[in-house]
Amino acid sequence: MTNPLLEITELPQFSKIKAEHVVPAIEQLLDEARQTITKQLQNGAPYSWQSLVEPIEAAEDRLNKAWSPVSHMNAVINSDDMREAYNACLPKLSEYATETGQNLELYQAYKSIHDSAEFASLDRGQQKMINNALRDFHLSGVDLPADKQARYKEISQQLSKLASQFEENLMDATNAWQKLITDVEQLQGLPESALAQAKQSAEAEGKDGWLISLQFPSYLAVMTYADNRELRREHYQAYSTRASDQSPDADKWDNSEAMEQILALRHEKAQLLGFNNYAEYSLATKMADSTATVVNFLEDLAEKSLAQAQRDLDELRQFAASEHGLEDLQAWDIGYYSEKMRQHFYQLSQEQVKAYFPVNRVLPGLFAIVEKLYGLQISPINQFDSWHPDAHFYQIIDKDQQPRGRFYLDLYARAKKRGGAWMDDCVGRKKTADGIQHPVAYLVCNFTPPTGDQPALLTHDEVETLFHEFGHGLHHMLTQIDHLGVSGINGVEWDAVELPSQFMENWCWEKEALALISDHYQSGEALPDELFAKMLAAKNFQAGMMMVRQLEFSLFDFKIHQDYDPAKGGRIYQTLQSIRDRVAVVKPPAFNRFAHSFSHIFAGGYAAGYYSYKWAEVLSADAFSLFEENGIFDRATGEAFLHNVLEQGGSSEAMSLFKNFRGREPKIDALLRHNGIAV
């Protein structure tokens, strides 16, 4: 049997990859990587970059290029057999990572390069990669006695398995809930586009009527527009109890036990390595220098935002009572009455705004903005191997007509696709004997798909999401660093990795940029000045509430890891409640199980790191303020950001790169100003 995962091709062969290919390919490539390490170590000292680091990097790159499409397909076209194959590989990959990280001979070989005369002759990226590797050996337990190393390995494997289980439970629970509406009166208030999508969903399953689900576009439409309060309550309860003990399907997909185990194992892992808790362990690879720094940062922001957040909620309650006679505002009413209030005070309807952001206008406009800023040209590649008809493929060429990278784009929500939006690494940049291996990215969103002849229309929030993920993509694809460990987003401190993504969102609010990304999908009319003025006026509508909500998530994540006590267990909702008592203004109902679907921290890379969004938002707002001073399309400023930040990957400390661009350390003022929060 030929195995497409073992064939050396420039890009993944998605249409040929089957579940039965996965385990044999990964096992073979893991064996080859192990043999490479053994061979290079057997060659003996003196070790050098060429004799040790390069061969290992090449073997691991081949492994990553096989695993990447498997991991991607498991997320975007999930199936039982692919899921089984994916899960079968997780312990194998975890075991390899741990045994490599605990290989004392390999650690000493790296250290010998670091301590040799050769080290001074290596470039900045190579030096950073070796320094990172030495740090990571310690974080993998290379210094531990054998029994503790074995326990570390067990913990790593269990954590890998539990993260996958958490994500699968959430996906299955999300897919399981549907409601078929046969009387359209029950959906009164929903805009035509949402009704058309619900109709199309029902038809796709051979049903008459309108099908609503927990896929985010469907959920958001009901919570924002449905006049039927009981339907909103039912939908809210189904969504906020997914994969929890409060769900009707708790016997199948309850994440409670997995969450407890994850927290316990992370704490044990951190203590094995000499840290007091997992929050301290997490900061070993981040910009923030201490847990106190993070907590103080978040609490300071909360203190500055709380009064405005309370005013936002009081105004909403007052509006719901005076204009609509609702005295008991509940969690399932907030989105609905917020939209009514936005329309009332700003004469601004999200549905009206959507009409000006058809995806076939937004995408070319986004590419035009990138061309103005960095001199890059982005064009489609029509012939490529794909996993789904929704996927598209593009290339990036720079002003010197040199290729910089390519990316896959998969924009629309569907069953068997993980929720949310993300950028992931398909191929990383590195220098090979044959030249440069150019980076390739996956960009994935979950927007409402087109209906009938109508193009997909994006809310302005979705436009920001697209720009955000594209910012991550640019960070990955525009790197000029030739060593995989520090090219693109690799080696970047996790609390700085959101800088390029949040930075890109700023152009969604600039008139010159909006002219490039918006036109009415039917008439072609430009976004009217009057509508833009309303959008700007409403930009910071409920900004205080949104700020404290993010701070609630960040503090909750950090505290459950920092304050974990094995004798008391996770105390997940107890901790969440204590955080809410201090920084939240909206108090959800008792049945709400938000944490059970908090994939970022239980299944993603944000454990004790969710604060990174706010931390990096300070950097991104301050970076953008230089464009506000010089002009949002000022090419010199754009190229300075390109050369000092985007191209540098993880080859230098993030603070150094920021200061090289901005000329100073970051200030918080621009973040507060952008959010309309007075200091």
Whether residue 265 is found in the same domain as residue 283? yes
Instruction: Assess if residue 388 is contained within a domain.
Output: no
Region 106-128: mean pLDDT is 97
Q: Are 587 and 580 in contact (CB under 8 A)?
A: yes
Among 593, 604, 601, smallest CA distance to 173 is for 593
Reduced to 3 states (helix: H, G, I; strand: E, B; else coil), residue 40 is helix
Q: What is the pLDDT of residue 310?
A: 97
Instruction: Give me the domain span that covers residue 322.
Output: 256-348+544-593
Whether residue 244 is found in the same domain as residue 264? no
* Mean pLDDT lowest among 1-5, 157-161, 162-166, 170-174: 1-5
**329 pLDDT tier (thresholds 50, 70, 90):** very high
Q: Kindly tell me the burial class for residue 31, based on how many C-beta atoms sit within 10 Å of its own C-beta (0-12, 13-18, 19 or more).
A: exposed
**679 pLDDT tier (thresholds 50, 70, 90):** low
Q: How far is CA 567 from CA 241, 270, 426, in A?
A: 27, 16, 42
CATH code of 18's domain: 1.20.1050.40
Whether residue 123 is found in the same domain as residue 26? yes
Q: Which residues contact 677 (CB under 8 A, 6 or more apart)?
A: 304, 305, 308, 540, 543, 544, 547
Instruction: Assess if residue 222 is contained within a domain.
Output: yes
Q: What is the pLDDT of residue 206?
A: 96
Region 345-369: mean pLDDT is 95
Across the strands, what pairs with 437?
Answer: 430
Q: What is the pLDDT of residue 678?
A: 65
Q: What is the pLDDT of residue 675?
A: 87
Region 170-197: mean pLDDT is 96
Write out the two tokens for 270.
Answer: 């951190």
- CA angle 492/134/150 to nearest 5° reads 110
Among 22, 25, 20, smallest CA distance to 6 is for 25
Q: Kindly tell me the burial class for residue 633, based on how many C-beta atoms sit within 10 Å of its own C-beta (0-12, 13-18, 19 or more).
A: middle
Mean pLDDT of the chain, nearest integer? 96
Last residue of a domain, one of 98, 126, 143: 143
Amino acid type, 91: P
Give yes or no for residue 1 having a pLDDT over 80: no
Whether residue 214 is found in the same domain as residue 119? no
Q: What is the pLDDT of residue 521?
A: 97
Instruction: Assess if residue 160 is contained within a domain.
Output: no
Instruction: Assess if residue 216 is contained within a domain.
Output: yes
Instruction: Assess if residue 214 is contained within a domain.
Output: yes
Last residue of a domain, one of 206, 236, 253: 253
Q: What is the pLDDT of residue 150?
A: 97
Last residue of a domain, one of 253, 277, 301: 253
Whether residue 233 is found in the same domain as residue 304? no
Instruction: Assess if residue 247 is contained within a domain.
Output: yes
Helix orientation angle between 229-240 and 216-225, rounded to the nearest 10 degrees = 140
Give per-residue pLDDT as tens, 452-492. Answer: 899 999 999 999 999 999 999 999 999 999 999 999 999 99
Region 28-57: mean pLDDT is 96
Q: Are strands 422-427 and 440-447 parallel, antiparallel or unpaired?
A: antiparallel
The rounded distance, in Å, linking the Cα atoms of 170 and 511 is 39
Give yes or no for residue 6 having a pLDDT over 70: yes
- CA angle 415/419/425 to nearest 5° reads 110
The rounded distance, in Å, linking the Cα atoms of 141 and 358 is 51
Reduced to 3 states (helix: H, G, I; strand: E, B; else coil), residue 115 is coil
Q: What is the DSSP letter of 16?
A: G
Instruction: Assess if residue 152 is contained within a domain.
Output: no
End-to-end Cα spacing for the chain: 66
Q: How far is CA 357 from CA 62, 354, 450, 460, 575, in A?
A: 40, 5, 13, 8, 40
Provide long-range contacts, Cβ within 8 A and 24+ apart, for 616-619. Answer: 616/495, 616/496, 616/497, 616/498, 616/499, 616/501, 616/502, 617/498, 617/502, 617/671, 618/666, 618/667, 618/668, 618/670, 618/671, 619/496, 619/499, 619/503, 619/654, 619/658, 619/666
Q: Examine the residue annotation and report whether 647 is marked as an active-site residue of this protein.
A: no
Q: How many domains does the chain have?
A: 3
Whether residue 36 is found in the same domain as residue 136? yes
Whether residue 119 is found in the same domain as residue 69? yes
Q: Are 132 and 485 in contact (CB under 8 A)?
A: yes
Region 230-259: mean pLDDT is 96
CATH code of 275's domain: 1.10.1370.10
Region 653-657: mean pLDDT is 97
Whether residue 279 is found in the same domain as residue 198? no
Q: What is the SS3 string spanning 184-234?
A: HHHHCCCCHHHHHHHHHHHHHCCCCCEEEECCHHHHHHHHHHCCCHHHHHH
DSSP string, 591-660: T--GGGG-HHHHTSS-TTTTTHHHHHHHHHHHHHHHHHHH-TT-HHHHHHHHHHTGGGTTSS-HHHHHHH
Write out the two tokens for 510.
Answer: 């600039």
Region 118-129: mean pLDDT is 97
403-412: strand order across its sheet: 377-380, 392-397, 403-412, 440-447, 422-427
The rounded distance, in Å, linking the Cα atoms of 385 and 511 is 38
Among 422, 489, 432, smallest CA distance to 62 is for 432
Give per-residue pLDDT as tens, 422-447. Answer: 999 999 999 998 999 999 999 999 99
**371 pLDDT tier (thresholds 50, 70, 90):** very high
Region 505-525: mean pLDDT is 97
Q: Are 333 and 189 in contact (CB under 8 A)?
A: no
Chain centroid to CA 402: 29
Amino acid type, 85: A
Whether residue 90 is found in the same domain as residue 32? yes
Whether residue 218 is found in the same domain as residue 195? yes
Whether residue 241 is found in the same domain as residue 276? no
Whether residue 62 is found in the same domain as residue 130? yes
Region 150-156: mean pLDDT is 97
Among 168, 26, 146, smallest CA distance to 91 is for 26
Q: Please tell me which residue in 469, 493, 498, 552 is annotated as part of the active site.
A: 469
Give per-residue pLDDT as tens, 548-607. Answer: 999 999 999 999 999 999 999 999 999 999 999 999 999 999 999 999 999 999 999 999
Q: What is the DSSP letter of 247?
A: S
Region 257-274: mean pLDDT is 98
Instruction: Assess if residue 183 is contained within a domain.
Output: yes
